[in-house]
């Protein structure tokens, strides 16, 4: 039973346009949420996070939105750049346990 669902396995976007990656979760016990990015042959790297008490967090071109009532998380990248092409993981975290639960990932391709 997947607790973190990324229903789109892949996404293709033109350079300069907005990329929107979506994520749904089922467990309300998570109190913080993260996005990790992964390039081939490398480990995942932290991108951005948001606490459950907020609904938006912005860091440069990256913005994460949290809709707790819908149990939905999204990552916006604008403008998208070819270097953003990677696998993006939606991650749920619990400050009680310290555990992270990863979604299956969405492969983003940004075309020049």
Partner 1 sequence: DAGVIQSPRHEVTEMGQEVTLRCKPISGHNSLFWYRQTMMRGLELLIYFNNNVPIDDSGMPEDRFSAKMPNASFSTLKIQPSEPRDSAVYFCASSRDGYNEQFFGPGTRLTVL
Binding range to partner 1, per CB under 8 A, among 10-18, 19-27, 40-48, 53-61: 40-48
Find the largest Cα–Cα distance for the chain: 43
Binds partner 1 by CB under 8 A, chosen from 10, 14, 67, 97: 97
Instruction: Decide if residue 46 touches partner 1 (CB under 8 A).
Output: yes
CA distances from 35 to 11, 57, 69, 100, 112 (A): 16, 12, 19, 11, 24
Report in angstroms the alpha-carbon separations of 87 from 26, 52, 105: 22, 24, 6
10 scored as a contact of partner 1 (CB under 8 A)? no
Distance CA 50, CA 37 (A): 15
- Does 45 participate in binding partner 1 (rule CB under 8 A)? yes
Q: Is cis: bond before 43, omega within 30 of 0?
A: no
Does 27 bind partner 1 (CB under 8 A)? Our answer is no
102 touching partner 1, by CB under 8 A: yes
Give the residue, chosen from 52, 100, 107, 109, that forms a contact with partner 1 under the rule CB under 8 A: 100
Site residues, partner 1 (CB under 8 A): 34, 41-46, 49, 89, 93, 95, 97-105
């Amino acid at each position: 039973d997947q607790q973190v669902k990324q229903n789109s396995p892949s996404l293709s976007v033109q350079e300069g346009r907005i990329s929107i990656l979506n994520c749904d979760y089922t467990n309300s016990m998570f109190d913080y949420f993260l996005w990790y990015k992964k390039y081939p042959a490398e480990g995942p790297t932290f991108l951005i996070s948001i606490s459950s008490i907020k609904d938006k967090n912005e860091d440069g071109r990256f913005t994460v939105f949290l809709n707790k009532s819908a149990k939905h998380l999204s990552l916006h990248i604008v403008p998208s750049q070819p270097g953003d092409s990677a696998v993006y993981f939606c991650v749920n975290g619990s400050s009680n346990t310290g555990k992270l639960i990863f979604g299956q990932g969405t492969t983003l391709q940004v075309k020049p």
